[in-house]
């Protein structure tokens, strides 16, 4: 990699970091490209050279965040004492991630019925990565004899993730909102942990 490309990569990362701070503290709707350029002391034209519009910048920041989230899961795979510990870690990590970045996700609240296709692709990538990682845990536990042998670990994890998602959807719709309010997240978290406990017991006995 030559020096010019390295400088461009460094500048791009600085833009992503500055944009993340803006999106996190003020939300997508109250953040402007002018403000992000001002934070970095860049010209607006140079910012648009890297990211043609605010939505593309937001998506780039989201991809970076998601990579960090998935890395935090992947680094722990194989270090758990039980299947329940692994699933609880996944639920807790996702909960902490949403709490920490709650304002960042106001884009979803504003555009839930009209999310860009790229966002849906990212959501699909997250789901597939979680299936892959948690299936690995099920296979390990089955080979250790701590749970019954299973022939379809991917399908089992996929079902669990769908059920966990359903808890969020039901809790939000019950309160007549589409995206959970921040104060609802603890209730959703508790229900998800209960579901994980029931689910794991079903695999063990």
pTM score of the predicted model: 0.86
More confident residue, 75 or 59: 59
Whose CA is closest to 184, among 195, 175, 193, 192?
175
Nearest residue to 60 via CA among 35, 85, 23, 32: 23
Q: What is the pLDDT of residue 33?
A: 96
Number of Cβ within a 10 Å radius of residue 181: 12
**Average pLDDT of 80-86?**
87
């Amino acid at each position: 990699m030559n020096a010019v490309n390295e400088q461009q990569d460094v500048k791009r990362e600085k833009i992503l970091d500055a944009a993340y701070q803006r999106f996190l503290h003020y939300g997508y709707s109250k953040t402007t490209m002018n403000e992000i350029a001002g934070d970095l002391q860049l010209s607006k034209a140079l910012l648009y050279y890297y990211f043609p519009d605010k939505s593309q910048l937001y998506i780039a920041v989201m991809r970076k965040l998601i990579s960090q989230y998935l890395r935090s899961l992947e680094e722990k795979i194989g270090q758990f004492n039980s299947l329940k510990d692994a699933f609880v870690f996944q639920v807790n990590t996702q909960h902490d991630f949403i709490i920490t970045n709650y304002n960042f996700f106001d884009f979803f609240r504003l555009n839930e019925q009209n999310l860009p296709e790229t966002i849906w692709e990212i959501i699909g990538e997250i789901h597939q990565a979680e299936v892959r990682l948690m299936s690995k845990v099920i296979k390990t536990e089955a080979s250790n004899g701590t749970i019954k042998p299973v022939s379809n670990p991917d399908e089992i994890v996929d079902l669990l993730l769908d059920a966990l998602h359903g808890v969020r959807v039901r809790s939000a719709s019950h309160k007549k909102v589409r995206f959970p309010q921040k104060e609802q997240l603890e209730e959703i978290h508790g229900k998800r942990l209960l579901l994980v406990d029931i689910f794991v017991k079903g695999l063990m006995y």
